[in-house]
Amino acid sequence: MTVVKRKIGTLEVHPIGLGCMNLSHAYGPAQEHDDAIAFLRKAIDIGYDFLDTATIYGMGGNEKLLGEALKGRRSKVVLASKCVMGFKDGKRLLDARPEAIKSACEASLGRLQTDVIDLYYMHRPDPKVPIEESVGALADLVGQGKIRMIGLSEMSADTVRRAHAVHPISAIQSEYSLMTRNPEIAVLDVCHALGITFVPFSPVGRGYLADEPLDPSGYKEGDLRLTFPRFTDPHFSANLGLLDKARQHAADLGCTTAQLALAWTLAQDKGAVPIPGTTNLKHMEDNFNAASIVLPAEVLATLNDEFSPEAISGPRYSAPAQASVTTERFAFE
């Protein structure tokens, strides 16, 4: 099957991108430096051409990895990073003031060893700063040639419309998978209406839909899933029946469960570019090849029914994490 590229703004990319966060933090200890560089270069050799990082990942360390890995290969990829969620003196901070955004961009350009960032997101909304002011700063960066496109992450449809009125938004990033379908409330609709590419993160359900079973007792120190209700009991165990159904569908189709999840995401929005992350080379190759899998209509319909939002046990975020996003929630959440 010939894989058709998808568009982000005026740029074309493979339907599956690579989320790079896992190399530095989130689901366990950071990868060894040389292993991470080799992993990223292998991804590019395989054909990944859309790489996603952020200021906060590894407190700048993730951007540094990409900057090193992309030496001599920068023209082969569309490079995305994020601002607003930053760090100072080893502590996280949230700052969407125009001057903070411009300062963060300069720092990211240096760590990434590039003259321009193709897609630069606001990582989270900042309740202290009107979205119009923040996007105005990003528009200035576009005008200065320091970034090519503007993106938003984990924001409501109303916020997206307000931002788009200041400067065209090229991409919206939100969590989206069989396990988390909140973008279907309004974000997908606003993306379609305004011609914005939807970029789902955690399309494999933060590993819940991977083939190797997760074990809550085996999470390493610092694993973010320790703070997410769905990844600890009683919700973790309550959702295992759904995982069994997904695995059976995958077995029937001759693909991995992760590939099934990615193929479902691609089918839900014909323009979406999911960005699964992994530190496993085989999983990385499997994810890339999921772009060639077309799910039969009856399987899609069954998955949509089995994984209805009401069928998932537990909220996706803890209360503090939920307070940091404005993505719409279902009435029953």
Cβ burial of 5 (10 Å; 0-12, 13-18, 19+) is middle
> What is the predicted pLDDT for the residue at 213?
79
> What is the predicted pLDDT for the residue at 309?
97
Average pLDDT over residues 86-109: 94
Which amino acids are annotated catalytic?
57
CA dist 130 and 123 (Å) reads 15
> What is the predicted pLDDT for the residue at 287?
98
Per-position b or e across 284-296, b if 16+ CB within 10 A of its CB: bebbbbbbebebe
Adjacent-strand bridge partners of 197:
171
High-pLDDT (> 90) share of the chain, %? 88
Per-position b or e across 138-171, b if 16+ CB within 10 A of its CB: bebbbeeebbbbbbbbbbbbebbeebbebbbbbb
Global confidence as pTM: 0.96
Domain extents for the chain? 6-322
> What is the predicted pLDDT for the residue at 270?
95
Phi and psi, residue 177, nearest 5°: -165, 180
36-46, pLDDT tens digit by residue? 999 999 999 99
46-97, pLDDT tens digit by residue? 999 999 999 999 999 999 999 999 999 999 999 999 999 998 888 889 999 9
283-309, pLDDT tens digit by residue? 999 999 999 999 999 999 999 999 999
- Does residue 153 contact residue 172 with C-beta atoms inside 8 Å? yes
> What is the predicted pLDDT for the residue at 221?
83
pLDDT at 217 over 90: no
Task: Please tell me whether residue 133 adopts helix, strand or coil conformation.
Answer: helix
> What is the predicted pLDDT for the residue at 110?
98
For 6-322, CATH number? 3.20.20.100
Task: Please tell me whether residue 5 adopts helix, strand or coil conformation.
Answer: coil
> What is the predicted pLDDT for the residue at 121?
98
Average pLDDT in the chain: 96
233-288, pLDDT tens digit by residue? 999 999 999 999 999 999 999 999 999 999 999 999 999 999 999 999 999 999 99
Lowest-confidence segment of 7-21, 273-287, 316-330 by average pLDDT: 316-330
